[in-house]
Structure 1
Amino acid sequence: MQTEVMKYSIELFDGKNDFALWQSTMKDVLTCQGLDAALEETKPAEVRDSDWSTIQKKAARQIRLALASEVKYNVLSETTPIGMWRKLEEIYASKSLTNRLCLKMELYQLKMAEGTNIHKHLSDFNMMVTQVVNAGDVLEEEEKALLLLASLPKSYKSPVQSMLVGKTTLVMKDVTSMLLENDKFLGEDDGANQTNALVMEHSRGRSNGRGGGGNRERLKSRPKKDYGEV
């Protein structure tokens, strides 16, 4: 579900998709259109009074166009872009203790199922981390790294143990790099296995008579015809 905002495309926010990601993308769209000043609490000094009203109206329109109908109802009473922005944050980025607890429980309980693409898992993990941070919590680098490793299935036991050898602390970027390199290595290994399987299949085909050698053997085994002596 998408809408065109000027020449930029942004996913409609329907209350179910990631608000932090939508909010970040919406800011980029407004910036590219020269309307990001509308999200300031007061008019920037460099903006002329004659332009301010136009900027406000255009920014409010673009925000409304990027909202699904069921979400748009929540901001119909707001007349300014910053008012709409704050209202959406109150509803979908609440910093209440209840919301913070729920988000943190989701992050701590996240588990990667065997066979899941590691890129998809990293995306899900980073999305949850962003939601926790936006709700007002602080996550240290080592805590994020440990949570990511704890979310991995048993098939990652060997590379994780190898990474932890000799280390007393962890950095998130190092863990991410290890996982991506491991995924790349496994992908290359799978490709090599497929190539070996094709070679073995070809060899079996030749030995079963599908290749030239088998044809020659059948020719040799045919009885010779007696044409008599000349």
Structure 2
Amino acid sequence: MKGGRNRNFGNPSSSGCRCTMSNGKFEVKKFDGTSNFGMWQCKVVDILIQQELDIALDNRRDDMTEKDWRKLNTQTCSIIRLCLTKEQKYFVMRETNGKKLW
């Protein structure tokens, strides 16, 4: 990995979301609607912060172009959807704004 150590926190399972970071890997169990949503949400937000995508959860900055804002939202929504089971993903698969996913 570029600029950091490759750390693996446990063995990834087919039900986990593996998000690769520059200094390691973070795993979040995919949300299936039965586990603690608040704890899952906290983990996903932490991943967004590490990826510097958490700004998509706020209002668009004045110095950001519409094209850059759309790309940021698309990337953010993608990470969130990757951390959902197929059944939960169905409800948000067409969302394009990170705020709507919460």
Match of 1:60 in 2: 77
CA shift digits 1:147-168 (9 cap, x unpaired): xxxxxxxxxxxxxxxxxxxxxx
AA in 1 matched with 2:50: C
What RMSD, in angstroms, separates the aligned Cα atoms of the two structures?
Answer: 1.4
Runs of 4+ in 1 over 6 A off after TM superposition: none
Match of 1:36 in 2: 54
Whose strand proportion is higher, 1 or 2? 2
Q: Secondary structure at the match of 1:9?
A: strand
> Which structure is larger by alpha-carbon Rg, 1 or 2?
1
Q: CA deviation at 1:78?
A: 2.0
Match of 1:3 in 2: 17
The aligned runs of 1:4-19 (5 Å cut-off) are 4-7=18-21, 8-19=26-37
Q: Which runs of 5+ in 1 are unaligned?
A: 86-230
- TM-score normalised to structure 1 length: 0.34
Distance 2:73 2:20 in 1: 16
- TM-score normalised to structure 2 length: 0.73
Identity, in percent, stands at 31
Q: Secondary structure at the match of 1:29?
A: helix
Aligned partner of 1:73 among 84, 90, 102 = 90
Q: Which of the pair has the greater relative contact order for Cα pairs under 8 Å at 6+ separation?
A: 2
Q: Secondary structure at the match of 1:75?
A: coil
CA shift digits 1:121-148 (9 cap, x unpaired): xxxxxxxxxxxxxxxxxxxxxxxxxxxx
Distance 2:42 2:53 in 1: 14
Whose helix proportion is higher, 1 or 2? 1
CA shift digits 1:21-48 (9 cap, x unpaired): 00011110000000001111x20235x2
Q: Secondary structure at the match of 1:74?
A: coil
Distance 1:12 1:55 in 2: 22
The aligned runs of 1:45-194 (5 Å cut-off) are 45-46=62-63, 48-49=64-65, 50-85=67-102
Count of residues in Structure 1 that have an aligned counterpart in Structure 2: 83
Q: CA deviation at 1:55?
A: 0.9
Q: Secondary structure at the match of 2:17?
A: strand
Distance 1:5 1:77 in 2: 21
